[in-house]
Chains A and B, each alone.
Chain A
Amino acid sequence: MFSLDGLLTWSEIMIDKPFRPDRIRYWLKAYFFIVPSLLFVLIFLYYPMLTSIYHSFTDWNLAQAEWIGLDNYIRMFNDNTFRIALSNQLLFTVTDIVKSIVFPLLAAELILSLRETKLQYLYRTGFVIPMLIPGIVFVLIWLSVYNPSNGLLNHFLSFAGLNSLARPWLGESDTAIWAVILMGFPYITGLPFLIFLAAIGGFNKEIIESARMDGAKFRNIFLKMHLPLLAPQFKVVLLLTIIGSLQDFVRIIVLTGGGPGVSTTVPSLIMYNSAFKNSNYGYGSAVGIFLFVSILLLTLLVSKIFKSERE
């Protein structure tokens, strides 16, 4: 049986006779445990991804695939709907980044600046509990908030005497994209909030306290101490937000289906519709590959910008 007792250190394995029988057994055991996960990853992630590269050059309807070279990619870049989807995606991603950095960071700072520990705990719990709500429920709640006939938002406007402002928020091309973007106010819940809270809570309190004693105000402490120290957290949040934003079409499909017309459509929704609604799996694969490459490039860019000293 494999036991954690007496685990060897890396240097023991590598430097001190790495091919001793007991060390080889150790290697084999380690690989034995990692192989099932690796197999799953290979079968369910890498294999479909690699076949998608091939299928993106074909006209594929699941039953038969015909090689058509770059036609899917040419069609994609010539398609006006795809260009609109790209500009929508840009807007979604930029606003998603703002929402996942500004509001959670401010909330974390404000909560940690409270003197009462109990109050801190209360706010922290209050903002974390909504994370337990499944994402789809959250979107459905906002769908009902925006409902033109019975929605909370229009009722509120009517109650406040602002009837003229009430409108079908998701049903008009001028307002739909902003209604989707503004969904989720005040944008505090979620992983970014926890990341910032944990990081700021872990800062050396003595240094902060001495800066305060030297006359530094909250603004200075935030701008000159917290922000530079939070660089690794910004990198993580940025990466997660960009990846999530480019991949996510659930909120759009539930709220607007990409409409009115193409007002809120995004490349990932085009990928989904092409493949699973119109059976153009080849074209869907091409859009998928485009998304994959975009995410990869953006990840590399963010990693380069926030390159830490250790790296």
Chain B
Amino acid sequence: MRKKLIGFILLSLVLVMAAGCSGSNSGTNASQSNEPQSSAASKEKRTVTFATIAGYYTDGLKEAAQEYTKLNPETEVVIDVIKDNDTYQANFKAKMAAGGKDAPDIVHINLIGETSSADAIDKGWLLKLNDYVNQPNPYSGDKTVFEGIDPEYHQNTYSRDGDVAYLPFDLVGTGFYYNKDIFAKLGISEPETWEELLAACKQLQDAGYIPITMPFGFESTITQAFLDWSAKSLYPELLIQPGDARYDEKIHKLNTSIAYSADNGNFDFGASYDPEKQLLALKNKQYDMQGAAQRKIWTVMKELSAYYQPGYATMQDPDVYQLFIAQKAAIYWNGSWQVGTLLDDMKKLGDKSFGWGTFKFPEFAEADPLFPGKPRGILVPGHLLGIADKKDPEQESRTKDFMMYLYSPEVAQRVFETTLEAGQFVQGPSLVLGVKLPDEVNAYLTGFKVDGSMGYAIANAVPSSDTNQAKQSAQLKYYEGKLSLEEFLAEQDKILNRDMDIYIKAQQYDLDPKTNP
């Protein structure tokens, strides 16, 4: 009994002391407030995750991540390589929908499945980088983040609401790759007009080659370039202008100085379009999807399709590439991201390698008022890096620091070099000032340097939807001769109008740009 009493007293003393210590701790925390917490947080080991796609600067990014972690041991940067775009999108969306805690910190904003960066910011998925881009970058001799990036492309980074949504890393373009050896053997020169290109295709076909190969899904980049060529004069009428409900002087002031010029391929640079005006242009047939321009576009496309690789409609991308690399196909329509891979494969092919070059989207032999000026193509920032809004200031701060490191000229140069050595995607010229690509690579990129970057004011008036397959089905029937040009254009217009109606209803538009949507 006595032993129990002593035990009880000792236990009570221990509990009282423990409670006292605990009380004094809380008191200290409360009195010292934020400062020690913040300091503790900055020493805390954290992981910053950069989600990328397989082969997409992967080796270069991994090396940069390792080097950064050596410099900043409290922050481990992990490059999370995701196998394809669909998985990338699903992974990001699901994690953000679950609160974002486990989402990657740095993302390619063009792969997260939002066509508008403003929408991604509104949903709380991406951070606004408005102040960040004007902060000094300690890894770039204290130039601001924006000062380290090609100023010509700053405007691209703004969302329609005027927020900086991402940092551009490189340019990306589309063009025709061709086999110089086959062309030389048959005495064909680089086509500069569509007539020359179609004649070259005929000559190649007669000589037993597959004239032109491309992933069929990628054909739309040709039709969109045609559409832009024939519709660009209309673009200024579709801009958000003073008096429109969406107009905000801070954001849309640039629109007031945009004027169409057939000779200036960049006349619409930085334009912000009014979605209701875009829809009205199609509804009111300001741009007629069954008009003369469309008839010419699809006549050329049908002629071109006769030279596509057999089975083009369902052929997988690697098989398409293989036809070109195996010298079965002489021309290959694709993006500038294939340059790195092609250079690497040519090295591997050794004495079986061949000479290759690139040429631009051609013009028509005779000027056509329906297609004014020169054609444009894709020539836009490709690697668009945004920061996920994880509502965690410390995580945000660490992520921003790594981004600054990545955008320093030395580190970006190393990323490009390592990527090229590994034969991975180098999409095009770097937009980080001070980075230089080898002359050989620059020479291959000439075919992608088009007159300007095409606009999507008409092409993207209605977001792509589940009807893509139906559109493709009509297109194939037309190519196969099962639909006439008129029937095909009517069918395409019908699908577009149905998509428009669904979209207008979903967005609750009244199709009056003057009223608040």
Contact = CB atoms under 8 A, between A and B. Distances in A.
Interface string A151-186: 000000000000000011111110010000000000
A148 interface: yes
Interface of A: 59, 61-64, 75, 79-81, 143, 147-149, 167-173, 176, 255-263, 265, 270, 273-274, 276-280, 283
Contacts of A256: 314
Nearest to B471: A261
Given A63-B96, A81-B469, A276-B90, A171 B464 contact: no
A171 B310 contact: yes
24 contacts: A61-B93, A63-B93, A81-B470, A147-B319, A148-B309, A149-B309, A149-B310, A168-B315, A169-B311, A173-B476, A259-B216, A259-B313, A259-B469, A259-B473, A259-B476, A260-B472, A261-B469, A261-B474, A261-B477, A263-B473, A270-B466, A273-B466, A277-B86, A283-B466
Contacts of B113: 279
A255 B313 CA distance: 11
A265 B480 CA distance: 19
Nearest to B114: A279
Query: Residue among B90, B313, B315 with the most chain A CB within 10 A?
Result: B313
Interface of B: 86, 89-90, 93-94, 96-97, 113, 123, 125, 210, 216, 309-316, 319, 323, 328, 464-467, 469-470, 472-477, 480, 502, 506
B480 A280 contact: no
B24 to A, nearest CB: 44
Nearest to A272: B86
Nearest to A287: B466
The prevalent SS among residues of A at the interface is loop
A169 to B, nearest CB: 8
A252 to B, nearest CB: 10
A63 B122 CA distance: 11
B144 to A, nearest CB: 32
Given A259-B472, A260-B476, A63 B466 contact: no
B470 A260 contact: no
Given A173-B476, A259-B473, 20 more contacts: A61-B93, A62-B97, A63-B125, A80-B470, A81-B470, A148-B309, A149-B328, A168-B311, A168-B312, A171-B310, A172-B313, A173-B313, A259-B314, A261-B469, A262-B469, A262-B473, A265-B469, A278-B464, A278-B465, A280-B466
Contacts of A263: 473
Contacts of B216: 259
Query: Residue among B113, B316, B469 with the most chain A CB within 10 A?
Result: B469
A266 B435 CA distance: 49
Contacts of A75: 502
A276 B97 CA distance: 14
A59 B502 CA distance: 12
B310 A62 contact: no
Given A62-B97, A81-B469, A170 B476 contact: no
Contacts of B467: 81
Nearest to A284: B466
A75 B475 CA distance: 23
B93 A278 contact: no
Given A62-B93, A63-B96, A176 B314 contact: yes
Contacts of A283: 466
B466 A171 contact: no
A168 B310 contact: yes
Nearest to A64: B123
A266 to B, nearest CB: 12
A113 to B, nearest CB: 42
B477 A171 contact: no
A147 B86 CA distance: 25
A168 B96 CA distance: 43
B470 A63 contact: no
Contacts of A270: 466
B95 to A, nearest CB: 10
B97 A63 contact: yes
A22 B319 CA distance: 67
A75 B506 CA distance: 13
